Structure 1
Amino acid sequence: MSDDDEPSKQLQSNLRDSISRALSTRRPLLTHLNADTTWLLSIPNPPSSPSANGRTYWHILVDPWLRGGQSDVAPFFSQQWHKEPSAVQTIEEVEDVIRGIEEAARVDENDEAQETIIGVDCRSDDVDVEQIREGESWIDAVVICHEFTDHMHKETLLEVRKSVPVFAAPTAASRIRAWKQFEFVAEIPRFKGDWRDSSRAPLPDWLGLSRVAYAGADLLYYHQAIMVTFGMKEAEAVIYTPHGISPTDLEPVAKADPTISTLGLLHGLQDIRLGAQLNMGAHNGLKVQRLLKAKYWIGTHDEIKKGGGIVSWFLDRKVITFKEAIEREKEEHGVALKGTWLEDMADVQFEALRNGESLILE
């Protein structure tokens, strides 16, 4: 087996282990498609509200950058490559993964059939052609949080079918529209207290996409979050903030009406500076976690990539583990764990999902 094949094998192995339980619990499935910050979030369609996509899950592809380099401004200024090959190398392979999940959902009572469909090659002669018509995609939506090309990677995005709706932060949406590649490109609306306001077609009415950011606080909206909210009577959310966000900016989520329960927080551990703060790191993540009380904290955007250009000479990166961050907080505040808010952190399920791993958000 070549080194390039290993992440793909790992992905298939993890999906085999996860899908049966995900189907039985009807809970979201989160899959890390590279070592950095490309994710597939598969959210079950509520039985009481069948989705227009006609499938078991609604599949959201987040910040896809699968192979090749990325550069902002110019290569001499900043250029990066993945150090580890992505678990999937093309959008076609992403489609195959999703198709495998959906096929497993259709035959979840037959373990032998699952092994056939979720294997090394998800493509199968048994695929129901009615499940996906010509020109359609297994990807239900693409979400882009920033215009920087490690999030808005043009070469990867141009592989996505034109019919797939794209939801992006304002500047990213404007640039993507200029490519004239996609039939639908929309700005992700700012969260204003009621997540239902962000549930707009072509999204199903039980799912909303919103952007959490303080107006005018950050010109580039660098430190913001994308919130995927879902549910009927009781809403849950997965909050994705690859560069971190001020806890103050997240207070509207904690005070939302109707109430939002944070199921998953995707926030990195590394503190990265280039003069100004880029990635806010583990200590900020602890403050955010204290506010949101997310059931799962998942690390993201922590890949140490191969870099070149002027920027690589001046990056100040501090690699901090979750445990080290907890210990640092205890030292700085001069408190013991027991009887303080830090004690709650002992129950946080922190997950450092590697390239190709998946997690059921139960």
Structure 2
Amino acid sequence: MADYTPDEQLYETLRASIAESFATRRPLLTHLNADTTWLLSLPYPSTSPSSNGRAYYHILLDPWLRGGQSDSSSVQTIAEVDEVIQRVEEAAHGYNIMCNVHVDHVDVGRDSQAGKCVDLVSISHEFTDHMHKDTLLEISPRVPLMATTKAASMIKSWRHFDSVQEISPFSGDWRQSSRLPLPEWLGISRVAYPGKDLLYYHSAIVFIFAGLTMYSSPEAVIYAPHGVSPSDVQPLADASPKVDTLALLHGLHDIKLVAKAQLNLDAYNGLKIQRKLKSKYWVGTHDEVKLGSGIVSWFLDRKVITVREALQREGEENGGDAELAALAEVNFKNISNGECLILE
């Protein structure tokens, strides 16, 4: 197999995946850096055609593309994210199609930034590896942005984006989280336990979409880069109308400060969520071993936990040996920097 740089790997795998993804009307998940920046591309339902001629609705998650510890990104700028989206759209349509801007009139001076191919930006936390200001300021102000409470407040203070909305808690009915600027078939909410985690550090953003095929139930992609308590996702398991969890993005590593403050929840926590929600895919995220700098790096304690080890612990707690055949049931995917996955 040929050796590819991250950006070459990205375009090589895109070419191989897009046609199949669009033919089956399935979402496409693309890893844009080695850590936790993702592009979630949702095909427009056949019953709700795109108003701008596009095949997919493209959501950019926690963009951090360059500077600091992000030099391993498969794309280095928001303009290159536009290029990725452009290639996705061209492959889906089978011919060249330009990304349309979200407004009828473009003020060239004000809308000169890139990012006009992005439909929505989603921010999960206010920390710089999720809410990277320099990267976000590259994006056109006209691209809508949705963020958790503290992140939304901080981004509003920059006075850059025209539309910054706070992501509301999951109510039990995904339709209540579908509001402008979202299309009617898409809702975005968060799950966390109020009062237990004042920073909502261990929380998840939930993307629920309906009608990708005529016969499908609403489906969800759950993004929990620091992990989330299994009890906190119970409302998703009890949702009405019923929601099928298509993919869970959750890391494997157990990361603490020496003072025992829990940063990232590990593979065993992810396994519990996968079991509770019966997620079809479990995708690793936010496990990149960064080149630490500054005083905080001196106090980090990282333990690498594998899915196999999580299954073994589960088996021991259940009074027997782990059923390693359950690895297939878990369906864990490690999507490397520059790779993409069709969520079938």
Q: TM-score, normalised by structure 2?
A: 0.91
Instruction: Report if aligned partners of 1:51, 1:204 keep a CA contact under 8 Å in 2.
Output: no
Q: What's the secondary structure of 2:207's corresponding residue?
A: strand
Equivalent residues in 2 for 1:173-252, closer than 5 Å: 173-232=152-211, 234-252=217-235
Structure 2 residue ranges without an equivalent (≥5) = none
Instruction: Report if aligned partners of 1:52, 1:204 keep a CA contact under 8 Å in 2.
Output: no
* Runs of 4+ that moved beyond 6 A: 129-133
Q: What's the secondary structure of 2:292's corresponding residue?
A: strand
Higher RCO (C-alpha under 8 Å, 6+ residues apart): 1
Are 2:338 and 1:356 aligned?
yes
2:125 equivalent in structure 1: 146
Equivalent residues in 2 for 1:90-129, closer than 5 Å: 90-107=77-94, 127-128=97-98
Equivalent residues in 2 for 1:48-59, closer than 5 Å: 48-59=47-58
1:64 equivalent in structure 2: 63
Instruction: Report if aligned partners of 2:100, 2:117 keep a CA contact under 8 Å in 1.
Output: no
Q: What's the secondary structure of 1:330's corresponding residue?
A: helix
- Cα distance, 1:105 vs structure 2: 1.3
- Using the alignment, how far apart are the partners of 1:160 and 1:151 within structure 2? 15
Aligned residue among 151, 160, 177 for 2:139:
160
Deviations 1:54-78 (A, max 9, x none): 3110000000001102xxxxxxxxx
Aligned residue among 245, 249, 253 for 1:262:
245
- Cα distance, 1:213 vs structure 2: 1.0
Instruction: Report if aligned partners of 1:299, 1:353 keep a CA contact under 8 Å in 2.
Output: yes
- Cα distance, 1:311 vs structure 2: 1.0
- Using the alignment, how far apart are the partners of 1:46 and 1:345 within structure 2? 32
1:317 equivalent in structure 2: 302
Deviations 1:263-306 (A, max 9, x none): 00000000000121110010101111110110000000000011
Aligned residue among 82, 89, 99 for 2:76:
89
Q: What's the secondary structure of 1:262's corresponding residue?
A: strand
- Cα distance, 1:240 vs structure 2: 0.3
- Using the alignment, how far apart are the partners of 1:262 and 1:270 within structure 2? 22
- Using the alignment, how far apart are the partners of 1:25 and 1:52 within structure 2? 21
- Cα distance, 1:343 vs structure 2: 6.2
- Using the alignment, how far apart are the partners of 1:128 and 1:200 within structure 2? 26
Deviations 1:125-169 (A, max 9, x none): x55476887548110000000000100000100001110000000
Equivalent residues, number:
327
- Cα distance, 1:205 vs structure 2: 0.3
Query: What amino acid does structure 2 have at the position aligned with 1:258?
Result: P
- Cα distance, 1:104 vs structure 2: 1.2
Structure 1 residue ranges without an equivalent (≥5) = 70-80, 108-112, 114-125
Instruction: Report if aligned partners of 1:222, 1:243 keep a CA contact under 8 Å in 2.
Output: yes
Deviations 1:82-110 (A, max 9, x none): 3x610000000000000111111111xxx
1:6 equivalent in structure 2: 5
- Cα distance, 1:332 vs structure 2: 4.1
- Using the alignment, how far apart are the partners of 2:48 and 2:139 within structure 1? 27
- Using the alignment, how far apart are the partners of 2:174 and 2:164 within structure 1? 20
- Cα distance, 1:24 vs structure 2: 1.2
- Using the alignment, how far apart are the partners of 1:324 and 1:128 within structure 2? 47
- Using the alignment, how far apart are the partners of 1:193 and 1:358 within structure 2? 30
Q: TM-score, normalised by structure 1?
A: 0.86
Q: What's the secondary structure of 2:332's corresponding residue?
A: strand
Provide closer, same or farther for how the CA distance between residues 331 and 198 of structure 1 changes in structure 2, counting only shifts above 3 A: same
- Using the alignment, how far apart are the partners of 1:315 and 1:130 within structure 2? 44
Instruction: Report if aligned partners of 2:89, 2:97 keep a CA contact under 8 Å in 1.
Output: no
- Cα distance, 1:212 vs structure 2: 0.7
Give the stretch that moved more between structures: 227-236 or 308-317: 227-236
2:288 equivalent in structure 1: 303
Instruction: Report if aligned partners of 2:221, 2:247 keep a CA contact under 8 Å in 1.
Output: yes
